[in-house]
Amino acid sequence: MTSPLEQKKIKIAGPSIVTANRTWDGAVIYRTASQGWSSELDQAAIVRTSDDARALLAESVADDIGAVGAYIAPVEITGNGKVEPGNLRELIRRSGVTIGLPAIGLPMQV
Amino acid sequence: MYAYDEIDRTLVNERVAEFRDQVKRRLSGELTEDEFKMLRLQNGVYLQLHAYMFRVAIPYGTLSSKQLRRLAHVARRYDRGYGHFTTRQNIQFNWIKLADLPDALADLAEVGIHSMQTSGNNTRNVTSDQWAGVAPGEIEDPRIWSEILRQYTTLHPEFSFLPRKFKFAITASAHDRAAFRIHDIGLRLHRNEQGETGFEVLVGGGLGRTPFIGKTIKPFVHGRDLLSYVEAIMRVYNQYGRRDNIYKARIKILVHELGVETFAAEVEEEWQQMRDGALKLDHEVVEDIRSRFFYPAYEKLPHMPDELRKAAQDPKFEAWRTNSVFPHKVQGYSIVTVSLKPVGGPPGDATADQMDALADLADKYSFGEIRVGHEQNLALPHVARRDLPDLWKALDKLGLATPNVNLVSDIIACPGLDYCSLANARSIPIAQELTRRFANHDTANLIGRLHINISGCINACGHHHVGHIGILGVEKNGEEFYQITIGGRADEQAELGTLIGPAVKYGEVADVIEDVVEAYLALRARPDELFVDTVKRLGVEPFRERVYATR
């Protein structure tokens, strides 16, 4: 889970998406194919080449009002075509903390 | 408690108004993120994995009950009903919305709380001993000088854009509870041979990627010269500190690269030109600051009141009393450490309900005052010993009476990968599992004083370098691994820990720590030889053999 903040060169090793945080409340969001943002991972635009990833990131970063801190993150495509987070960091961002917290119910199991 | 004056109130209120306008312009797009980021950092607002994180300053770890209630209100109204007390005596809220921040700040400002300079390349919260003003044998209350430094460094025009963050800590007792040796400037109040009170000045302490214990550059500086001497240090840092590489920009790197003698000489040369200037502290100024601190009107009370004698029959109360209650400088009173390390809980967290209830208890039993320690526990500094039984019952009902202070399950942990965008691995679940493994009170007492520190990345917010046992999360091929160090200490004999071997997987950490502890129990020379002393005596090899024999 090397911090994406330390991404220096954009090289992807598999299917990837662009994710960010929503500006007004910091919620996790994903760049869609229709140049918008969604809080649902399965609506994220998936890229498979480094050039496409760069282009999607550049477009996301330019949308500075709605989103902040955009970066490229890996995903896994399951056998039935479902999009899942590609590492623990993104799993935590999508699903929440892995620990029990007061008032917000049971923790996510990892 | 330091009482704000009109200048303090105006400063905080103006800052709230300024930030409100900045947020408005950010949300409208008038400010880009690049323009806004530095502004939000200067107000303690980070972007983390799930949300913004809001870091609120608790200067030198002192809170009034009114302030604690307001923190509870912020947790409840603007966050998810809890807050996290940090290793720098601050509190963090993990789910705050940017759009709500101006209102949250305004609510805090009403009770004299702010978030200025809790992030960014400026001077951060000045931290101190959570027992300041009440510790037996203390030279004098270090919070007076912490407040002087706080006022001096807040919005300082020359030092608001330093090469990197800058941290002060001040201690005034023989036993250091402020970890002053691992700060950029660490100050130790003491008396010289002439009986005068002044400061030993250490520079260049710090953890992270390149940990260093601070070096003494001046064994004694009079209080009247504190600000001029500090300014001299910061001018040398501001001038020579690197700005080309954030990993080499802290003052510790400068001290290391110049050498402590050269650095000290540079500071001395700078200081000699300014020592008798505007920064020379008048006695009246110091006394004015001192007068703005609240000190209770203590009663004359017996050391062993009847209430305490009777309650001692209860083994559960006694277990808590012998663990969490500490001597006070005034007879008949005690300092009570309130553990925020329940078995299976995230270290350092408190719910809004707990904060409110603790504020009520502080009003009833501690003259309305609460302290925050860097080890992520709280303290009630003025508890009459006759009130200990009733206080304990109330704390126990709140889940705040775990008798594990300074023991193996009193773990310091950063938020880690569950929250932090810098993290490589999780820290809180490791801490939770360890508290479960070592939940047995008798076992913990048998082990004795043992500090475990956990960091989710090399930035070391959990102070793992100076843990008796340090645990550092790293990432290898997408998996969480943990390096284990032993033999560190954060007190007046501060030392960095030593790695015992290759990193171990997430699922193995608790087993490894149990092995380390078992090795200690087998190797210690006497039951009262502390873990850290056994390591110092024997080195890491016997522990390494034990841990890695079957791995």
Residue-wise pLDDT for B289-344, tens only, equals: 999 998 999 999 999 999 999 999 999 999 999 999 999 999 999 999 999 999 99
Where residue B1 falls among pLDDT bands split at 50, 70, 90? Answer: confident
CA distance A36 to chain B (A): 16
How many Å apart are CA B181 and CA B161, to the nearest integer? 24
Contact A48, A15 (CB under 8 A): yes
Which residue is closest to A110 within chain B, CA to CA?
A: B429
Residues of A in contact with B29 (CB under 8 A): 64-65
Query: Across the interface, do B80 and A64 touch by the CB < 8 Å criterion?
Result: no
Domains of chain B: 6-109 (3.90.480.20), 142-291 (3.30.413.10), 306-397 (3.90.480.20), 412-548 (3.30.413.10)
How many Å apart are CA B366 and CA B325, to the nearest integer? 13
Share of chain B above pLDDT 90, in %: 96
What average pLDDT does range A63-74 have in this prediction?
Answer: 93
Shortest CA distance to B383 belongs to which of B370, B400, B401, B396?
A: B370
> Is A87's Cβ below 8 Å from some Cβ in B?
yes
Residue type, position B527, single letter: P
Where residue A30 falls among pLDDT bands split at 50, 70, 90? Answer: very high
Cα distances (angstroms) measured from residue B135 to each of B128, B173, B177, B327: 12, 8, 11, 7
Which residue is closest to B26 within chain A, CA to CA?
A: A65
> Is A13's Cβ below 8 Å from some Cβ in B?
no
Which of B51, B82, B424 shows the shortest C-beta gap to A2?
Answer: B424
Where residue A104 falls among pLDDT bands split at 50, 70, 90? Answer: very low
Query: Across the interface, do B32 and A64 touch by the CB < 8 Å criterion?
Result: yes
Give the pLDDT score at A106: 41
The per-residue pLDDT for range B108-143, each reduced to its tens digit, is 999 999 999 999 999 999 999 999 999 999 999 999
For B411, the token pair is 């773990």
ipTM of predicted assembly, 2 dp: 0.91
pLDDT above 70: residue A108: no
Least confident of B3-7, B263-267, B411-415: B3-7
Cα distances (angstroms) measured from residue B337 to each of B141, B373, B382, B503: 19, 9, 11, 34
Q: Which of B101, B428, B477 to mutate to test the interface with A (most CBs of A within 10 A)?
A: B428
What average pLDDT does range B72-98 have in this prediction?
Answer: 97
Which residue is closest to B433 within chain A, CA to CA?
A: A99
Shortest CA distance to B376 belongs to which of B446, B451, B465, B294?
A: B451
Give the pLDDT score at A3: 53
Which residue is closest to B421 within chain A, CA to CA?
A: A3
Query: Across the interface, do B33 and A64 touch by the CB < 8 Å criterion?
Result: yes
For B163, the token pair is 């090469």
Where residue A8 falls among pLDDT bands split at 50, 70, 90? Answer: low
Least confident of B5-14, B311-320, B403-412: B5-14
**DSSP-derived pairing of the beta strands B469-476 and B479-486:** antiparallel
Residues of B in contact with A4 (CB under 8 A): 421
For B143, the token pair is 């919070």
Which of residues B493 and A9 earns the better pLDDT score?
B493
Which residue is closest to B419 within chain A, CA to CA?
A: A97
What DSSP element (H or E) covers B322? helix B315-324
Domain locations in chain A as residue ranges: 11-95
Query: Across the interface, do B346 and A92 touch by the CB < 8 Å criterion?
Result: no
pLDDT above 70: residue A107: no
How many Å apart are CA B346 and CA B337, to the nearest integer? 17
What average pLDDT does range B30-35 have in this prediction?
Answer: 95
Q: How far apart are the first and last CA of chain B?
A: 52
For B241, the token pair is 């500190």
Cα distances (angstroms) measured from residue B487 to each of B180, B220, B453: 18, 29, 12
pLDDT above 90: residue A88: yes
Q: Look up residue B199 and give its DSSP letter.
A: E
The per-residue pLDDT for range B153-200, each reduced to its tens digit, is 999 988 888 899 999 999 999 999 999 999 999 999 999 999 999 999
pLDDT above 90: residue A109: no
Query: Across the interface, do A2 and B480 touch by the CB < 8 Å criterion?
Result: no
CA distance A101 to chain B (A): 8
Share of chain B above pLDDT 70, in %: 100
Mean pLDDT of the residues in chain B: 96
Where residue B550 falls among pLDDT bands split at 50, 70, 90? Answer: confident
Residues of A in contact with B418 (CB under 8 A): 92, 97-99
Give the pLDDT score at A72: 97
CA distance B101 to chain A (A): 10
Shortest CA distance to B181 belongs to which of B162, B207, B220, B155?
A: B207
Give the pLDDT score at B225: 98
